[in-house]
Structure 1
């Protein structure tokens, strides 16, 4: 006897195996035929809108797990808002400008050293279009909603024109001004770099403690008191304009064998050893916000 035949188990038409690699493309093909994304949008009221603009990824290569997480989380948000009755499109786009695209081409041996600027820019544009097509299909395979056939691209003339229009509006409202600012510069790329593109090596540097004597304590401190600062760039000291205290941190005024100093209270134990302070006596403690001279 086969004991399996004696069991009263529920019957199902579901297959024992999912075969998802084969079936997922079929599901997605059906979604495209049904225009599922537009159907979901049309089912909700446009007057109750929730727009989510995709902060555009660079069009410079295949998607990685960070992209997958980013797209999935945004997809969850717009699906949830749709279920709440909102007209909630996920507006896809790509950043088709910038160093990542140029660097990708430089790895292929193409640069302004062997091409004119016009030809190099055209190659960058073609490469960006290719990568957009690749990433578009990869996003589709994630099952993410959104009109992927009509994304915004930062290199499109309409998009650039809109940027100039917004900049003009800001200028007319007085938000744009000309001033001095330090910027990161890449000699090899011959361009300014955003802070997000800067990576610092972990290095060991020489450092120095320097005491600044109070010149005018304004009846808050006597002129025999000094502030101690620590720096790895002592050559910048002549351009210093102020010594700043953390308004919420507790500082101490200490008498030592080398004079009176103001330092952060929780750092004094370490400074005793490093600076060979002896006979240390706490004269007063205060918050940084209490001293303004």
Structure 2
């Protein structure tokens, strides 16, 4: 059983032991898996089996991955690979979150301009290019971790078709009467000129004789 598993799918046919020079040999294993298209072979093998779909919240494409991003992706990869081996059809489509203030701030800092010194259209174009560049960087890093998936066709939140789907979802909510106009207290950042989530609020310590 072990020999069949080795010869048919995952390991290159080499005789070297897996005990030294791992940092050199591990990339060889990863390259072999991509060369033989393990992901494509798994899809062919399990195409008529029951499906298991992991909907993965995308990482933010504004920098290289960090230990939290890597841990998140690796743990999900455990689940996907486990389900493949259990005989499920488990396609995994990675994605990237490409919208948000942090990307804008990074771009403005790199350009050394204020938000009022650049047109909104040009800023969006710069931000899109910035996000795409780091999506490529993160793809290479996730591949290096051995994460399996359709890395050639990831979804990105800046793609017009993806944005259209979001608008369709909003329109459906409006039709059902789930969207309404009301009043609500909003946290506001006077420096960034944008609304803040409650999780983003940090309170400074203050010494006071007041008693609560």
When normalised by structure 1's length, the TM-score is: 0.63
The structural deviation recorded for 1:46 is: 4.6
Partner of 1:180: 183
The structural deviation recorded for 1:179 is: 1.0
**Equivalences for residues 134-153 of structure 1 within 5 A:** 134-153=137-156
Q: In 1, Cα distance between the equivalents of 2:163 and 2:31?
A: 34
> Of 122, 125, 143, which residue of structure 2 is paired with 1:122?
125
Considering Cα pairs closer than 8 Å and 6+ residues apart, tell me whether 1 or 2 has the greater RCO: 2
- Give the total of aligned pairs: 197
**Structure whose residues are more often strand by fraction:** 1
The structural deviation recorded for 1:149 is: 1.4
**2:65 paired with 1:37:** no
Distance verdict in 2 for CA 1:16–1:177, change over 3 Å: closer
**Structure whose residues are more often helix by fraction:** 2
The structural deviation recorded for 1:45 is: 4.2
Deviations 1:187-246 (A, max 9, x none): 1211112223333334444533xxxxxxxxxxxxxxxxxxxxx4xxxxxxxxxxxxxxxx
Distance verdict in 2 for CA 1:16–1:116, change over 3 Å: closer
Partner of 1:198: 201
**2:90 paired with 1:88:** yes
The structural deviation recorded for 1:161 is: 0.0
> Of 77, 80, 89, which residue of structure 2 is paired with 1:78?
80
Q: In 2, Cα distance between the equivalents of 1:95 and 1:205?
A: 42
**Equivalences for residues 1-293 of structure 1 within 5 A:** 14-15=16-17, 17-46=19-48, 48-108=50-110, 109-208=112-211, 230=212
Indicate if the aligned counterparts of 1:183 and 1:192 stay in contact, CA closer than 8 A: yes
The structural deviation recorded for 1:51 is: 1.0
- Structure 1 unaligned segments of length 5 or more: list them: 1-12, 209-229, 231-293
The structural deviation recorded for 1:17 is: 4.4
Deviations 1:117-145 (A, max 9, x none): 11111111110011001000000000001
Q: In 2, Cα distance between the equivalents of 1:126 and 1:191?
A: 22
